[in-house]
Amino acid sequence: MDRCTMSVDAYIMLNVKTGSEDEICQELVKFEEVQEASTVYGQYDAIIKVSVEDMKHLDGFIMTKLRGISNILLTATMLISKQY
């Protein structure tokens, strides 16, 4: 997405079925909304950075694309207020 265009950017943390972290991240980076996907240690198993045109698009992405992946057990979305 062009940096001059207004957009909604967010980090989405994921808890996934044990052992499916790599497979899920490889699937998620195929979505145009996903800018980055990483596996992490700690409370969550993976984190993705998404960029969409508005909140309606973010809602649709979470409700249809993310929730359509059976091995994703839980998500937590953090909207980015300012990037440097």
* pLDDT score, position 6: 74
* pLDDT score, position 48: 98
pLDDT digits (tens, 9 = 90+) for 3-27: 556 799 999 999 999 999 999 999 9
pLDDT digits (tens, 9 = 90+) for 46-62: 999 999 999 999 999 99
State the Cα angle at 21 between 32 and 13, rounded to 5°: 65
| Mean pLDDT, residues 72-77 taken together | 97
Question: What pTM was computed for the model?
Answer: 0.90
Judge contact between 34 and 25, C-beta under 8 A: no
Judge contact between 47 and 13, C-beta under 8 A: yes
Identify the structural domains of the chain with CATH numbers, from first to last.
8-79 (3.30.70.920)
* pLDDT score, position 1: 46
